[in-house]
Amino acid sequence: MTNKRQYIEYLISTPLNYTCSNLADHLENVSHDAVSDFLRREKLTAQGLWELVQPLIQDSSQAYLIVDDRVQDKRYSKQIELVKLQYSGNEHGLVRGIGVVNLVHSAGTDYYPIDYRIYAPEVDNKTKNEHFREMLIAGVAGKSIQAKTILFDSWYAATDNLKLINRLKLVFVTSLKENRMVRLSIETGYVHLEQLEWSELELQQGQIVKLKEVSFMVRLFKLVATNGDIEWVITNDLKQASMHFIQKASDVRWQIEQMHRELKQLTGLEQCQCRKARSQRNHLACCYQAWLAIKVKAKELGKTCYQVVHDLLSDYLGAELRHPRKPALQLAH
């Protein structure tokens, strides 16, 4: 019988092949069916991840919560449950896959996932924005998270999300799609973002505006990249907000993208070929815990997660070079 620990350690150790067959081939007296049964039998959830992460996070009112989603690419999978055609920001288009919404806690440097939800509206009738609000409420009320600043991109800048964060007396920093409308005053009325005029001072300090369908004022920033691209960013922190505040928040928000890449490249997140939804959910849960084990070891050694996994392969290569089990053939003299 295969257990969770064996499966997680397998995800950490295997370099390319993440199949049940490969694990069974490398365990004594364990069959492919035993591994498959483990994935179908267990009911691993995000709560198990939280129990491991809770003692690791450095929580305070100065900490951040970051929300974003990522689609596990399953474009060649025809019979895997939970797979559906959906928009992938990574691919900038539609792709068949399993969508996951993540909630990550950051103390500014260290970051850890504290909750996640699989986007499966055909199962629970919930949108990504509903998952967003449920995880946020669970984090504040259920987990007693003290972090006061919530970071997310324009996908989650829906009116209901902004109102909820403001009611919870939290601070949000988020980007806006360019078709959103704002007004500087009742007299000027609502205009599209690109119609606003900006002075040099306003580019540094932002402008206080009223966002359409939102009852409270927000501070709007116009971020112009060196290539001319424009990003519109708002926050409900009207007192302390500055370009420095916005840039720091943007840097922290990028950590969730780093976590997404590490999960994909180091744990075989997208590689499970099991067809059943429960197997996919359990594989996902084990991938998060595999990533966490790598993250903890990386912090202990002062290395990156990539270096920790590379060291496993480096140790194997060194051992083979010292005592090759398959030495090169040599001509007889």
Q: Residue 250 burial by CB count (10 A; 0-12/13-18/19+): exposed, middle or buried? A: middle
Say which residue the tokens 């119609």 belong to: 195
Query: What is the full per-residue pLDDT of the chain (333 aa) written as tens digits?
Result: 568 998 899 899 888 788 778 787 787 777 778 888 889 999 999 999 999 999 999 999 999 999 999 999 988 888 899 999 888 877 778 999 999 999 999 999 999 999 999 999 999 999 999 999 999 999 999 999 999 999 999 999 999 999 999 999 999 999 999 889 999 988 889 999 999 999 999 999 999 999 999 999 999 999 988 898 999 999 999 987 788 899 999 999 999 999 999 999 999 999 998 999 999 999 999 999 999 999 999 999 999 999 999 998 888 778 878 888 888 887 776
Q: Name the pTM for this structure.
A: 0.92
Q: 47-105, pLDDT tens digit by residue?
A: 999 999 999 999 999 999 999 999 999 888 888 999 998 888 777 789 999 999 999 99
Instruction: Please give the distance of CA 298 from its chain centroid, rounded to a whole number.
Output: 19
The structural domains of the chain, with segments of one domain joined by +, span 153-240
Compute the distance between CA of residue 125 and CA of residue 135 in angstroms, rounded to an integer: 16
> Would you state the pLDDT for residue 81?
92
Q: At which residue do the structure tokens 């420095």 appear?
A: 244
Q: Is 101 left (phi over 0), alpha (psi -120 to 50) or beta?
A: beta
Q: Which residues of 295-306 are buried (b: 16+ CB within 10 A; e: fewer)?
A: bbbbeeeeeebe
